Amino acid sequence: MPACQNIHVIVRFVKRFFLKHSIGLTYTTLKKSISMNTVITTQQVQFYQENGYIIIEDFLNTAELDTWRAAVSTAIAERKGQKIPGRPGKINEDDGINKDAKYHSKVFDQLVNLWQTSEEVKQLMLNPKIGEMAATLAEVDGIRIWHDQALFKKPWGNPTSWHLDTPFWSFSDHRALSIWVALDDATLENGCLFFIPGTQKGTGFDNLGISKNMDAIFEVYPQYATANTVAAPMKAGSCSFHNGLTIHGAHANMTPGSRRAMTCAYMPDGSTFNGNQNVLPDAEMERLKIGDLLQNDTLNPLIFTRKSSNI
């Protein structure tokens, strides 16, 4: 082969090498910066509407999971045990709703509205992409944050008895829902969630609290006492959404490790005050009358709406 042809071959090889590796580099960079897996398909909406819950595998990539873990841990440390901002009461104390603080403090550590006290958590919770996921699943036009909560089931933690969420809240909307993000692998051993599919269609807004007895909910909803349950083990970084009227609970933590989760409850935009105290500050409770729109953007930010340009 003549020398000039040799040079051409070498140049082509070098070009190909750089092309291949620069694409590789671009892809790696992209992969790192790819945002959360927030696409919701029509099939997923149908599944959610039918069953009242859905699991989204690999919602966060490894880097995002690290960010969430760090933001939530720091926010919890900064709270020094205060459960709800602006309200008295520390974790592990009687919250006036669930009797027997000694037992319930061993269900999980529950810290509410970390987004209000941590800029890092606020960045995560107010992400419109998550709001869009919630709005799409719930089939509503707009989504407001009701409250976030870190739910950390400690080693040997008690089970989370079957319960409903929406009856605790200060509005009554059958489309309200929550995201539950696994910050650790949630397994059958350490307290993964369980759902009773389809129950969101038959439950209501009477608040039963969370009993210590797993079967207490069936005194009110005996029609579900023989229903099938579904376990929702999840890898860290995966998440689920569940309707606040779907009967759900979690296993005991049978391990010496923690089962950490970050959650957020969502209120459809346009919901109205029902008179229940939950997480609203006293001043807001005094101001509100039953039937008023809950549209205080400082307390319940609108994180996604289809009505006008997104936030």
Establish if 160 lies at the interface with ligand AKG (CB under 6 A): yes
Kindly state the smallest distance separating residue 42's Cβ from ligand AKG, in Å: 25
For ligand AKG, give the closer residue by CB, 217 or 261.
261
Establish if 178 lies at the interface with ligand AKG (CB under 6 A): yes
Q: Which tokens in the block code for residue 295? A: 């549209």
Q: Which of residues 129-158 bind ligand AKG (CB under 6 A)?
A: 151, 153
Which helix (H) or strand (E) segment holds residue 243: the answer is: strand 239-243
> What torsion do the CA atoms of 300, 117, 136, 259 make, to the nearest 10 degrees?
-130
3-state secondary structure 222-242: HHHCCCCCEEECECCCCEEEE
Kindly state the smallest distance separating residue 149's Cβ from ligand AKG, in Å: 7
Establish if 180 lies at the interface with ligand AKG (CB under 6 A): yes
Lay out the site mask for ligand AKG across 190-209 (x = CB under 6 A, - = otherwise). -x------------------
For ligand AKG, give the closer residue by CB, 29 or 213.
213
* Helical axes 128-138 vs 42-51, angle rounded to 10°: 60
For residue 308, count CB atoms less than 10 angstroms from its CB and return exposed for 0-12, middle for 13-18, buried for 19 or more: exposed
Establish if 279 lies at the interface with ligand AKG (CB under 6 A): no
What's the CA gap between 112 and 150, in Å, rounded?
7
Kindly state the smallest distance separating residue 223's Cβ from ligand AKG, in Å: 21
What's the CA gap between 4 and 131, in Å, rounded?
61
Kindly state the smallest distance separating residue 116's Cβ from ligand AKG, in Å: 18
Lay out the site mask for ligand AKG across 229-268 (x = CB under 6 A, - = otherwise). -------------------x-x----------x-x-----
Contact 268, 175 (CB under 8 A): yes
Establish if 217 lies at the interface with ligand AKG (CB under 6 A): no
- The CA-to-CA distance between both ends of the chain, in Å, stands at 64
Which residues make up the interface to ligand AKG (CB under 6 A)? 108, 151, 153, 160, 165, 178, 180, 191, 248, 250, 261, 263
